[in-house]
C-alpha cells in the first residue's frame, strides 16, 4: 500500500486530486481508477496465486471513501470485490461497498485536516487522545478513525469465521497473530494518508516559494519606475526655463511611456519587445541631449525572441546617460549588442562616456538603484547562472554585460 501511494503521488493529476478537497466527477473517476485497479489486481493475485497479503479490500475501500467521498469509496470497493465475487465469495461486494460508505460517512463528519493528520505514529498517542476525549467530553477524531478501522476489521473477522467461504479474512488461533492483523489494517490505512499528506505539504511549499519569488521580482521591478521618473522630471525642471517647448515635448512622451508601463504587468518579454521599449525611452533622452547622443545596435537575429525580464535594459541605458554623458563635453554613443555564447545569451550595453574608476568598479553593483536592481533581479530569477558584469576605465567608457542561461530562459517561456 505504501508503494502504491508513493507511485500515485508522483503523477500530477493525482496530486491535484489530493490537494483540492472539492473534486468533480472526472477527478473522482481518475482517483477510483488509479487507486482501485491495482487493488483489484491484488485481490485477483490472492485468488489466483494464494498470496493473501495482496488482498487490501477493506483498507482500499475505506481509504477511498475517506479521501474522495462515499460514492467513490463504494465504487472502488465494488471494483475491488469483483475478483472475489467471481471466485464465489458472495459477501465481498457487500462488505467492500460498506467499507467505502463507512469511510465516506466519516469524511462528511470529520474535519478534513483531522483526516490528513491521521498517521501510523498516531497509534503511540492514542492513550492520550482517548483520555482527552473522556476528560473534555468531546469528539477526538483520531480515536474515532482508529475505532472505525478496528470495527470494520472486527466485522470482517466475525463474518469470515461464520461464513468462511463467503468473505476472505486472515484468522489464527493465536491472539498475537490476530492482534498483528488488526495493527496491520490500521497501518495500511494510515500510511498512504501520511505519504499523501507529505506530498500536499511539498506542493504548498513550492507554491509559497513561487509566490514569494513573484512578489520579490515585482518589488524589484517597481523600484525602476520611480527612479526613472525622478531623473526625467529633474531634466524637465532644467529645460523648462530655457527650452519650454522641449520640456513640453518631454512631458508628453513621458506621459505616454508611463501609461504603457502602468498597464504592462508582465514579468517577462522578448528581447525584441524590450528593445522597442528602449527606443521609446531614448526618444525622451534624445530630446534632452540633442544631436550629441547617438545609438548603435548590433543585435543577433537569433536572440530577438529570447525571453528576458521586462525593464531589464532601461536602467543600464539610463546609467550610461547619467554617469557617462551628463558631464561629458562632445558627442556620445550608446551601443546595444546581443549574441549567443554556448548555453548563455549575452546582452551588452556600452557607452564611450567618462568611464569608471578602478576604485569604484568593485562597488558599482551594490551602490545606487539601477545597477544593483538589475543585478538582484538576475540573482533572484536565475541564481548563480545569471549575472551582471561591469567593466570600464576612466575616459574609455563602461560596459554592462548581462549573461542569461538559455536553458532557464526556455523554462520561463514554457511556464
What the chain holds in terms of domains, given with CATH numbers, is 2-207 (no CATH), 266-414 (3.30.565.10)
pLDDT, residue 414, reads 45
Question: Model confidence over 334-364: pLDDT tens digits?
Answer: 999 999 998 889 999 998 888 888 888 877 7
CA–CA gap between residue 95 and residue 167 (Å, rounded): 8
Question: Model confidence over 92-111: pLDDT tens digits?
Answer: 999 999 999 999 999 888 88
pLDDT, residue 295, reads 87
CA–CA gap between residue 379 and residue 235 (Å, rounded): 32
Q: Is 187 helix (H, G, I), strand (E, B) or coil?
A: helix
Question: Model confidence over 137-157: pLDDT tens digits?
Answer: 667 778 888 889 999 999 999
pLDDT, residue 415, reads 47
Question: Model confidence over 250-273: pLDDT tens digits?
Answer: 788 777 776 766 655 667 888 998
Instruction: Check whether 188 has a pLDDT greater than 50.
Output: yes
Residue 357: all three cell numbers together: 574608476
What's the average model confidence in pLDDT over 221-244? Answer: 70
Q: Is 23 helix (H, G, I), strand (E, B) or coil?
A: coil
pLDDT, residue 213, reads 59
Buried b (16+ CB within 10 A) or exposed e, 235-273: bbeebeeeeeebbeebbebbeebeeebeeeeebbbbbeb
The model's pTM: 0.55
Burial label, 87 (beta-carbon count in 10 A; 0-12, 13-18, 19+): middle
Amino acid at each position: 500500500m505504501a508503494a502504491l501511494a508513493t507511485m500515485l503521488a508522483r503523477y500530477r493529476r493525482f496530486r491535484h486530486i489530493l490537494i483540492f478537497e472539492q473534486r468533480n466527477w472526472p477527478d473522482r473517476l481518475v482517483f477510483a481508477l488509479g487507486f482501485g485497479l491495482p487493488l483489484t489486481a491484488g485481490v485477483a493475485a490472492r485468488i489466483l496465486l494464494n498470496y493473501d497479503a495482496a488482498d487490501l479490500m477493506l483498507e482500499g475501500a475505506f481509504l477511498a471513501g475517506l479521501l474522495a467521498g462515499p460514492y467513490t469509496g463504494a465504487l472502488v470497493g465494488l471494483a475491488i470485490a469483483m475478483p472475489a465475487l467471481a471466485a464465489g465469495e458472495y459477501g465481498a461486494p457487500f462488505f467492500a461497498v460498506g467499507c467505502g460508505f463507512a469511510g465516506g460517512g466519516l469524511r462528511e463528519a470529520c474535519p478534513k485536516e483531522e483526516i490528513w493528520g491521521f498517521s501510523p505514529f498516531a497509534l503511540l498517542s492514542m492513550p492520550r487522545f482517548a483520555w482527552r476525549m473522556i476528560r473534555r467530553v468531546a469528539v477526538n477524531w483520531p480515536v474515532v478513525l482508529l475505532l472505525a478501522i478496528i470495527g470494520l476489521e472486527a466485522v470482517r473477522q466475525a463474518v469470515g469465521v461464520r461464513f468462511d467461504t463467503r468473505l476472505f479474512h486472515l484468522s489464527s488461533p493465536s491472539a498475537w497473530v490476530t492482534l498483528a492483523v488488526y495493527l496491520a489494517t490500521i497501518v495500511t490505512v494510515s500510511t498512504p494518508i501520511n505519504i499523501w499528506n507529505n506530498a500536499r505539504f511539498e506542493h504548498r511549499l513550492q507554491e509559497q516559494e513561487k509566490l514569494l519569488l513573484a512578489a520579490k521580482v515585482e518589488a524589484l521591478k517597481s523600484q525602476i519606475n520611480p527612479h526613472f521618473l525622478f531623473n526625467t522630471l529633474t531634466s524637465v525642471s532644467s529645460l523648462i526655463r530655457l527650452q519650454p517647448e522641449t520640456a513640453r515635448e518631454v512631458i508628453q512622451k513621458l506621459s505616454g511611456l508611463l501609461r504603457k508601463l502602468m498597464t504592462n504587468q508582465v514579468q517577462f518579454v522578448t528581447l525584441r519587445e524590450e528593445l522597442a521599449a528602449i527606443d521609446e525611452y531614448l526618444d525622451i533622452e534624445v530630446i534632452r541631449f540633442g544631436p550629441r547622443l547617438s545609438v548603435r545596435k548590433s543585435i543577433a537575429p537569433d536572440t530577438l525572441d529570447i525571453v528576458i525580464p521586462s525593464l531589464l535594459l532601461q536602467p543600464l541605458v539610463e546609467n550610461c546617460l547619467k554617469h557617462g554623458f551628463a558631464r561629458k563635453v562632445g558627442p556620445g554613443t550608446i551601443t546595444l549588442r546581443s549574441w549567443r555564447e554556448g548555453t548563455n545569451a549575452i546582452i551588452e550595453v556600452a557607452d564611450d562616456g567618462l568611464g569608471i574608476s578602478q576604485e569604484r568598479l568593485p562597488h558599482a553593483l551594490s551602490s545606487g538603484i539601477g545597477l544593483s536592481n538589475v543585478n538582484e533581479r538576475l540573482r533572484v530569477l536565475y541564481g548563480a547562472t545569471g549575472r551582471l558584469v561591469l567593466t570600464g576605465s576612466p575616459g574609455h567608457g563602461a560596459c554592462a554585460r548581462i549573461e542569461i542561461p538559455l536553458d532557464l530562459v526556455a523554462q520561463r517561456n514554457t511556464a
